Structure 1
């Protein structure tokens, strides 16, 4: 006989066992589960009370569904990131209210040459996004931190800004369970502002920073502001006195910061105004220098050149034009004209004191020479006989007569120079009195316009 296969033997034994169980009906479930692994082809035998065991299994399933699949804060953050909330929250009114509880302002610099000023703003933001909310009874966390790059954030812009850069204050933002998002941005903006420099260096003015968001046809964003504070840091010659928040015409889409600026007058006064005053005083005192010694003219030329140097410095500091041109520019132009006229007056009077005429010296000598020739001709007209009779006597006294004539001629020239010099000094005194009177009147006028008058500028004309 052929040997019996082992698998067939196992099947026969298992069939015999089943027959025994069916006859007795007392085999336990534990025995079945113990015997089941003996065959790979046998089916799983269910117990007779499967209907009763189904109810507890449903209870277990519902309890597992009520328990969240993730309980950690990182897992919750991953779930919120997976929503990809990269667009503006869509509300029924098609708008999002962006709350700005506090703005921290700081003036960085004021460019009086190009009429611009740079400032720095720290702006905390808060808004609602229902898609980022969760049930705290399921996820036991009140807030979670999410990366900025994965969540939508509002974009602010400056309407009158020449150059504006906005960066996030942090790479993360805070999200509350009710969908409130908190974030902060830092803005550096350069604003074109025609600063009123009419009373420079005693200037003070206001400048506007129009801070707004995108909105069109009733959709977009709207800002609601809280308080505004400024840092105590003041750089350069300008001080930030106050910062206020206003809205042009009561409109929500025309919000601006009203920045009050005031200039420190010490530095420009000591470097520009005071030197101009001292140069004019030196020019007034220079009238005491004598005309004939040629010391006054070189001194006045030096004063004019030094004043031109200060005028070039002023040109690099102040703008070339504008609605309210600085009055100090007119002051420097007037002082330069006065100095040049004073120098020309000294040149003319020096010429008058030396030659007694305004014509060049070579031309005046040529005019005097014909007179001398006519005098010689008139002296030669007497009778030749009289000259011959006295010739012998004059030959004896000719050296003495020459000396006397030379001395008389020198005395006449000295008297003539004295008369010219006296006349030039009288004219110089009259010019000095006129010069001093003009300066006194000009001082009163410039003080009135510097402190008694103002020039107004519309700083919100960019909205017109």
Structure 2
């Protein structure tokens, strides 16, 4: 057989092989190349000495393309990896850093639980600080996945790569919000769970009218952004409290409410009550004891100055007491505390009592309320007159030589007795006036005690704590 006949035979066998492969798989590049080949081209290739290499390479190409096409079709239905990290990487790659866009332009943020704690109550600046742990839950359909492909119900994502709702306190003076963790939990249906920690200082004009027996409500207005039908709404759940006792204040109750039934004006209504033991012992009781000591001081005699010195000591002690405890006294506001009026009354009554004792001491000694200089001039004038009369009588006695030393002694004793009788009359009069003043003083204190007890427990002062919305 001639060489040309061998080349034609090889070309025919190769064409039959390619037809068999093409029947099981779509035409590849090698098949198209073989179909374009003609006997003339095959003979030219054979004459060039390249027919064996071409047939071998074409068959290898055909055999290689068949598994490649099969792998491509399998990747179309099965992901390349199914681990949680791979799933998390896929969700992070979506860059869901904006608010979920629902058809209604509103995202409902669920707040299933708020853990509340009162940190401190500042009665001087009328502020109180709170600590809140807020659980948040919302849905983002873009972060959902098919559990039949990724066999995981939950995955953890970094909070910096996912959009989270931002809360704000409407009546907050200073608010800090931080994430409780660097990660958040995402469910397969797109539900996201997260927790934030809020420390807020709220300006609340606490009703201190009945201080230290004060109690009041203070709001913490927690809301989110919403404008012209777009934004977010909060759906609150339960509220729990921890560490109810903070200093002199007790957190009695915390509940959720909304002003006027509006969904965009939600607030926590915190009920606060003051534990009155410490303020009563440090503020009220010392003032009561000082007033009682002043009442008892009326038993001291008017003469000698003991009563005056004691009362002056009480006044100075009370003034020093107010200066030292000035920082403990509550601030003012719409309802000024009664305790400030109480201290003012105590100071005034102490000063009046001291002045009364000084006047009566003067009255008991001299029998007159004139100043000392005038009274001394009168006494000296009377004394000079007596001296003149005595000198005249002495001259006359010496002239007539009728008076003796015994008569002088009798006259001196009579004068002393008259002076003692006069002083006794002054003392009796001053003591009567002192007794009347004591009765008036005691009556004023009893009436004051009844009035202050009525205003402390029976009277109330109203404050609108939600005026920051009006």
User: Which TM bucket (shorter chain)?
Assistant: 0.7 to 0.9
Residues 350 and 111 of structure 1, relative CA distance in 2, 3 Å threshold: same
Is the 2:125–2:331 contact (alpha carbons within 8 Å) kept by the matching residues of 1? Answer: no
Deviates more, 1:109-118 or 1:130-139: 130-139
How far is the alpha carbon of 1:430 from its aligned partner?
A: 0.5
Partner of 1:33: none
Residues 349 and 110 of structure 1, relative CA distance in 2, 3 Å threshold: same
Partner of 2:239: 228
Query: How many equivalent pairs are there?
Result: 436
How far is the alpha carbon of 1:417 from its aligned partner?
A: 1.6
Instruction: Kindly indicate whether residue 183 of structure 2 is the aligned counterpart of residue 172 of structure 1.
Output: yes
RMSD: 3.1
Instruction: Kindly indicate whether residue 438 of structure 2 is the aligned counterpart of residue 427 of structure 1.
Output: no
Instruction: Kindly indicate whether residue 96 of structure 2 is the aligned counterpart of residue 85 of structure 1.
Output: yes
How far is the alpha carbon of 1:323 from its aligned partner?
A: 1.1
Partner of 2:462: 456
CA distance in 2, matches of 1:49, 1:194: 86
Instruction: Kindly indicate whether residue 452 of structure 2 is the aligned counterpart of residue 446 of structure 1.
Output: yes
How far is the alpha carbon of 1:368 from its aligned partner?
A: 2.9
Gaps of 5+ in 2: 18-48
How far is the alpha carbon of 1:135 from its aligned partner?
A: 1.1
Partner of 2:423: 417
SS in 2 for 1:354: helix
How far is the alpha carbon of 1:136 from its aligned partner?
A: 1.1
CA distance in 2, matches of 1:318, 1:18: 119
Residues 166 and 17 of structure 1, relative CA distance in 2, 3 Å threshold: farther
Partner of 2:305: 294
Is the 1:108–1:117 contact (alpha carbons within 8 Å) kept by the matching residues of 2? Answer: yes
How far is the alpha carbon of 1:53 from its aligned partner?
A: 10
SS in 1 for 2:264: coil
Residues 185 and 388 of structure 1, relative CA distance in 2, 3 Å threshold: closer
Instruction: Identify the match of residue 390 of structure 1 among 400, 403, 407.
Output: 400
CA distance in 1, matches of 2:305, 2:51: 134
How far is the alpha carbon of 1:227 from its aligned partner?
A: 0.7
How far is the alpha carbon of 1:373 from its aligned partner?
A: 4.5
Is the 2:335–2:461 contact (alpha carbons within 8 Å) kept by the matching residues of 1? Answer: yes
Partner of 2:316: 305
Residues 359 and 41 of structure 1, relative CA distance in 2, 3 Å threshold: farther
Instruction: Kindly indicate whether residue 226 of structure 2 is the aligned counterpart of residue 215 of structure 1.
Output: yes
Residues 363 and 57 of structure 1, relative CA distance in 2, 3 Å threshold: closer
Instruction: Identify the match of residue 327 of structure 2 among 289, 311, 316.
Output: 316
SS in 1 for 2:166: coil
How far is the alpha carbon of 1:119 from its aligned partner?
A: 0.6
How far is the alpha carbon of 1:45 from its aligned partner?
A: 4.1
Instruction: Kindly indicate whether residue 58 of structure 2 is the aligned counterpart of residue 46 of structure 1.
Output: yes
CA distance in 2, matches of 1:207, 1:179: 37
Deviates more, 1:305-314 or 1:331-340: 305-314
Is the 1:95–1:219 contact (alpha carbons within 8 Å) kept by the matching residues of 2? Answer: yes
Instruction: Kindly indicate whether residue 147 of structure 2 is the aligned counterpart of residue 136 of structure 1.
Output: yes
Is the 1:174–1:181 contact (alpha carbons within 8 Å) kept by the matching residues of 2? Answer: yes
Residues 376 and 107 of structure 1, relative CA distance in 2, 3 Å threshold: closer
Instruction: Kindly indicate whether residue 10 of structure 2 is the aligned counterpart of residue 22 of structure 1.
Output: yes
Residues 418 and 23 of structure 1, relative CA distance in 2, 3 Å threshold: closer
Structure 1 length normalisation: TM-score?
A: 0.86
SS in 2 for 1:461: coil
CA distance in 1, matches of 2:10, 2:129: 97
Partner of 2:411: 405
Deviates more, 1:297-306 or 1:335-344: 297-306
CA distance in 2, matches of 1:327, 1:40: 116
Is the 2:113–2:236 contact (alpha carbons within 8 Å) kept by the matching residues of 1? Answer: yes
Is the 1:355–1:361 contact (alpha carbons within 8 Å) kept by the matching residues of 2? Answer: no
CA-to-partner distance for each residue in 1:265-318, whole Å, 9 max, x for gaps? 111111111111111111111000011021111111121122223333554233
Instruction: Kindly indicate whether residue 135 of structure 2 is the aligned counterpart of residue 124 of structure 1.
Output: yes
Gaps of 5+ in 1: 1-14, 30-37
Residues 16 and 410 of structure 1, relative CA distance in 2, 3 Å threshold: farther
CA distance in 2, matches of 1:224, 1:49: 64
